[in-house]
Amino acid sequence: MEQIVNLLINGLATGMLIFLLAAGLTLIFGLMDVLNFAHGGFFAWGAYSGIWFYGVTGQYVLAILFAMFVGLVLGALTEKLIIKPVYGNHIQQILITLGFMLVLSELLKVIWGPNQLPAHAPEWLSGSWLIGDIIIIKYRVFIIVVGLIAFFTIHFILKKTRIGLIVRAGVMNKEMVEAMGIHIQKIFMLVFMVGASLAALSGLLLAPYSGVIYAEMGMDFAILAFIVVVIGGMGSFTGSLLAAILVGLSGSFMAYYVSELSIAVNMLLMILVLIFRPQGLFYGKG
Amino acid sequence: MEVLLKTENLETFIGQYHILQGVTFEAIRGEVTVLLGRNGAGKTTTLRTILGLSPPSRGKVFFKQKEIQELPTYKTANLGIGYVPEDQGIFPYLTVEEHFKIATKGKGDKVNERIETTLALFPDLKQFWRKQAGVLSGGQKQMLAIARAYINYNELLMIDEPSKGLAPIVVEKVMETLERMKGETTIILVEQNYLMAEYLGDRFYIIDDGKTVLSGEMKELKEHEEWRKKYLGIS
């Protein structure tokens, strides 16, 4: 029983990290039709900048806000300088964002060195709770809580505010949104910045979870995020949460019971979705 | 008679295709101007060009005497031009209420007043207020698309084939609604359904192979069967 609970919490925590990375990716693709392979770079920059800030100030919560701010700034610069010139051309988008991803990784090495860096959770998030026979690691619960807060905040904005309605409408028909007098380019920029910020948050949350950070960490997780976006449905925010939980849990349980298949199971899920429901499980569900 | 919108020799390419090769027409304030022509003549592209969705390579568009062909779409729309595209442009996963919310500019009482006025003109939409637009019938979607364009009291509405794909009884309903809107706003109507065009139109322009080839008052077209035969293939 305790093992199952642990696997469950582990899977949910991993799922939340992937969700935070995939959420931006799915909105960016759904709204802007942009394949952003540099998204993992924001993730890695979030981890490095946040851990650096935490090291300097000792304030983990402030470090989270700082990492998100770095994500916002990087997102704004990337949209303006890298993405804007290649709107509407997927091949150019893949090439330029992959190239930019490498640049972001190399810049991390230039600033913080080529070696892996250690990352630790703050004291108040270290250790575990003992409930009966079950050991629950505090930091994993923290990741789940932060992921849920991020989900409900953005879900509220998407469902209840005019700007959220515009984003959802833009995912469905951006030309019509523009024809209604809305400056869709500004909305693109905003969504891109928020997406980058969520990726940076995810990167920082992962750092103490894995114990080390390294410049290429973004690419490893970005692949999982792309799988989640395909399973959840391009442009579906709720879909990306549910798909991320599915991927997180299946990865966690498979790693314990059939470890050889732990990575393959996610690919298998994606292939099944592509065959039987290519638009994704929750396409259009918001 | 005030000219609200005027185009001069509009030319537009879509990819390598030279779709508009000289479209010139005027829309008079308070009137319904109908753009007629066979399939592929360039009527839809004319509306898209005015709005900046398919920018022109040559020619001019004037709205209230101001040149607007260089403006981005959202700025053109904000001058007071509402658009109902051929495919209605409905957001299938948003509710009717959300369509109204997203379309209405301004804040507070003004918004509520506009919503109420629009619902008075489109009362059927009240029944589907909380329903997703994707589940509405073709006619209901068309009403929603027109209501969405109307809600900001736009000075000009450009409506592209509102009768397309609708049952005759529903077409009648759309016609009645547009007739009620007549006078309150200026309408440019693209329509294949000649009866609807004749019923609503004050003035017509026939577009053929991307050029305006004939224009006049609607009653003139009604009287000239040979024009209808030659340019529209109907008698």
pLDDT tens column, B32-55: 999 999 999 999 999 999 999 999
Chosen for mutation from B74, B84, B95 (greatest number of chain A CBs closer than 10 Å) is B74
More confident residue, B28 or B165: B28
CA–CA distance, A213 with A56 (Å, rounded to integer)? 17
Q: Measure Cα distances from A155 to A16, A23, A163, A241, A266 in Å.
A: 15, 11, 12, 11, 25
- Are A245 and A14 in contact by the 8 Å Cβ rule? The answer is no
| DSSP one-letter string for B61-84 | EEETTEE-TTS-HHHHHHTTEEEE
Q: Which residue of A has its CA nearest to B151?
A: A180
- Are A51 and A207 in contact by the 8 Å Cβ rule? The answer is yes
Record: contact A172-B148, CB cut-off 8 A? no
Q: Which of residues 156-195 of A touch B (CB under 8 A)?
A: 162, 165-166, 168-169, 172-173, 175-184
- Look at residue A266 and tell me whether its pLDDT is greater than 90: no
C-alpha Rg value of chain B to the nearest Å: 17
What pLDDT was estimated at residue A286?
A: 62
Average predicted confidence (pLDDT) for chain B: 93
What pLDDT was estimated at residue A236?
A: 87
What pLDDT was estimated at residue B231?
A: 84
What pLDDT was estimated at residue B129?
A: 95
Residue among A169, A182, A285 whose CB faces B94 most closely: A169
CA–CA distance, B142 with B133 (Å, rounded to integer)? 10
CATH class of the A2-276 domain in this structure: mainly alpha
For chain B, give every domain's residue range.
3-232
CA–CA distance, A35 with A87 (Å, rounded to integer)? 10
- Compute the average pLDDT of residues A42-50: 97
Q: Which residue of A has its CA nearest to B107?
A: A162
What pLDDT was estimated at residue B149?
A: 95
Record: contact B77-A165, CB cut-off 8 A? no
Residue among A166, A175, A183 whose CB faces B53 most closely: A175
Identify which of B1, B4, B34 has the alpha carbon closest to the alpha carbon of residue B156. Answer: B4
Residues in chain B: 235
- Compute the average pLDDT of residues A27-32: 82
Residue among A162, A177, A285 whose CB faces B101 most closely: A162
- Look at residue B102 and tell me whether its pLDDT is greater than 70: yes
Q: What are phi and psi of A146, to 5 degrees?
A: -60, -45
C-alpha Rg value of chain A to the nearest Å: 18
Render pLDDT for B71-93 as a digit per residue (tens, 0 to 9): 999 999 999 999 999 999 999 99
Predicted complex: ipTM over 0.90: yes
Render pLDDT for B125-152 as a digit per residue (tens, 0 to 9): 999 999 999 999 999 999 999 999 999 8
What pLDDT was estimated at residue A80?
A: 94
Render pLDDT for A156-188 as a digit per residue (tens, 0 to 9): 999 999 999 999 998 889 999 999 999 999 998
Record: contact B94-A184, CB cut-off 8 A? no
What pLDDT was estimated at residue B183?
A: 79
Provide the shortest C-alpha distance from residue A38 to chain B (in Å). 29
- Compute the average pLDDT of residues B151-172: 91
Outline where DSSP puts E strands in B106-220.
156-160, 186-190, 203-208, 211-217
Say yes or no: domain B3-232 is CATH 3.30.1490.100. no
Confidence bin at A132 (pLDDT 50/70/90) = confident
Chosen for mutation from A162, A168, A177, A178 (greatest number of chain B CBs closer than 10 Å) is A178
Confidence bin at B165 (pLDDT 50/70/90) = confident
Record: contact B94-A172, CB cut-off 8 A? yes
Record: contact B92-A179, CB cut-off 8 A? no
What pLDDT was estimated at residue A51?
A: 97
